[in-house]
Amino acid sequence: MHHSVRNFQKVLHPDDENNIPFIVDTEQET
């Protein structure tokens, strides 16, 4: 669950558009 929180932080960064898709991948893994 802690990983999910880390992903959320990346979403807050609009500059990291490349990270946004990565978050979706991580969510599926959970």
- Give how far Cα 20 sits from Cα of 2, 23, 27, 28, Å: 17, 5, 11, 13
pLDDT at 29: 58
Note down the domain range covering 23.
Answer: 1-30
21 in Cβ contact with 5 (< 8 Å)? no
How many domains does the chain divide into? 1
pLDDT at 19: 55
Rounded to two decimals, the pTM is 0.15
pLDDT at 20: 57
| Sign of torsion over alpha carbons 17, 19, 22, 26 | negative
pLDDT at 14: 60
pLDDT at 28: 59
pLDDT single digits (tens) 1-30:
455 556 555 555 566 555 555 555 555 555
